[in-house]
């Protein structure tokens, strides 16, 4: 026996589901406002201009990397190697500044200026991403396993680059023309740290590529239904290859900024960064199944993590508790993502 709802009751049900889906889509922004309100009430040091600039600057490191991760997850993939790529990029930048590029066959050492070093390290990140893409597309290795393997390879190469030691004092040598590296992480433009401008640039470019170009539409199509995308003429393997390359480049930029801020490169740089990047993407509303999400959502997700970390530090919460709370937030984000997917399915059935 079935009971049919009256037209008015059916309309009310659809309205409630629509509102529910809308609120779920705004969950990261709502969480951001709630956290900022809580920490503003708990500590006067939180809502100050100085602290907010510090907060956004710290968030920028994760946000830059998360932009690249968003493209990968939109296709239904994952990249666990970004943290190690950050470390490798930092160490290579330190190597190029400290020792230059040795060419034994010519008996010379080439030293590059800082812009050239940035370009070379970004190319390195693209190569790491291409390696991941090759494993996933050509050898049909599951993204989780492929990037997990690359995680260890990249971390090992970072340690081998200087025998496990740090490259300290990366200020360069005026006589070699490679000074100015610290400006990338500590410099300002119009009173705003350069790292924030870099975050804005990467976020804006990511938004434009994902939302305003044919490539971006193809990324969503691949994540939504890979088989249907292939039948419609989309080169699925090529799209996957490119998104991993984008992810590698974003991770390399993060490595450059981190090394510049520290004025040193350590082989352990970037450890566990991949977890923060994935958390920012999921918190921002991107589905781990692919096909749904936005770059701006990822930025909000990164800000949520940044506010949470900054606020807990100001409150004097132990590092161990910060990890517990961050882990719970990630779990909650995944649960909410599943609930949103179910609500959207119910809404589609009601309307269909």
Q: What is the pLDDT of residue 307?
A: 94
14: in domain: no
Residue 92 lies in a domain: yes
In a domain, residue 16? The reply is no
Per-residue pLDDT of the chain (352 residues; tens, 9 = 90+): 445 556 666 677 667 767 876 777 788 888 899 999 999 999 999 999 999 999 999 999 999 999 999 999 999 999 999 999 999 999 999 999 999 998 888 889 999 999 999 999 999 999 999 999 999 999 999 999 999 999 999 999 999 999 999 999 999 999 999 999 999 999 999 999 999 999 999 999 999 999 999 999 999 999 999 999 999 999 999 999 999 999 999 999 999 999 999 999 999 999 989 989 998 998 898 988 899 999 999 999 999 999 999 999 999 988 888 788 878 877 887 787 778 778 878 877 777 6
End-to-end CA distance of the chain: 22
Asked, for residue 17, whether it belongs to a domain, the answer is no
Confirm whether 91 is domain-assigned: yes
Report CA dihedral (291, 296, 302, 306) to the nearest 10 degrees: -160
pTM of the model: 0.93
What is the pLDDT, as a whole number, of residue 285? 87
Domain assignment of residue 334, given as a range: 30-347
Torsion-angle region of 93 (φ positive above 0: left; ψ -120 to 50: alpha; else: beta): alpha
Query: How many structural domains are present in the chain?
Result: 1
Rounded to the nearest 5°, which phi and psi values hold at 62?
-70, -35
Give the integer Cα–Cα distance in Å for 307 and 327.
Answer: 15
What is the phi/psi pair of residue 105, to 5°?
Answer: -65, -25
**Residue 47 belongs to a domain:** yes
Residue 107 domain flag = yes
Residue 128 lies in a domain: yes
Q: What is the pLDDT of residue 1?
A: 47
């Amino acid at each position: 026996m079935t009971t049919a709802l009256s037209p008015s009751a059916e309309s009310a049900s659809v309205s409630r589901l629509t509102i529910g889906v809308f609120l779920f889509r705004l969950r990261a922004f709502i969480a951001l406002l709630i956290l900022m309100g809580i920490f503003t009430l708990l500590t006067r040091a939180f809502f100050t201009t100085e602290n907010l600039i510090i907060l956004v600057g710290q968030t920028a490191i994760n946000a830059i990397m998360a932009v690249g991760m968003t493209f990968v997850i939109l296709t239904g993939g994952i990249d666990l190697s970004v943290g190690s790529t950050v470390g490798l990029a930092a160490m290579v930048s330190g190597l190029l500044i400290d020792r230059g590029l040795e060419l034994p066959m010519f008996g010379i050492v080439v030293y590059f200026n800082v812009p050239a070093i940035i370009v070379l390290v970004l190319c390195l990140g693209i190569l790491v991403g291409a390696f991941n893409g090759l494993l996933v597309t050509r050898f049909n290795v599951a993204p989780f396993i492929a990037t997990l393997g690359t995680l260890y390879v990249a971390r090992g190469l970072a340690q081998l680059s200087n025998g496990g030691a740090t490259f300290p004092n990366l200020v360069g040598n005026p006589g070699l023309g490679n000074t100015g590296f610290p400006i990338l992480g500590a410099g300002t433009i119009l009173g705003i740290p350069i790292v924030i401008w870099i975050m804005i640039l990467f976020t804006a470019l990511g938004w434009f590529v994902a939302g305003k170009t044919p490539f971006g539409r193809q990324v969503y199509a691949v994540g939504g239904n890979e088989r249907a995308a292939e039948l419609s003429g989309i080169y699925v393997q090529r799209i996957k290859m490119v998104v991993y390359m984008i992810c590698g480049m974003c991770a390399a930029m993060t490595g450059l900024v981190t090394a510049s801020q520290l004025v040193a490169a350590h082989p352990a740089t970037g450890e566990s960064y991949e977890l923060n990047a994935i958390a920012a993407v999921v918190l921002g509303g991107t589905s781990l199944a692919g096909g749904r999400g936005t770059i701006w959502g990822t930025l909000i997700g990164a800000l949520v993590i940044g506010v949470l970390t900054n606020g807990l530090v100001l409150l004097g919460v132990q590092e161990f508790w910060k990890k517990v709370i961050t882990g719970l937030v990630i779990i909650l984000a995944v649960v909410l993502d599943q609930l949103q997917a179910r609500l959207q399915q119910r809404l589609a059935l009601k309307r269909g």
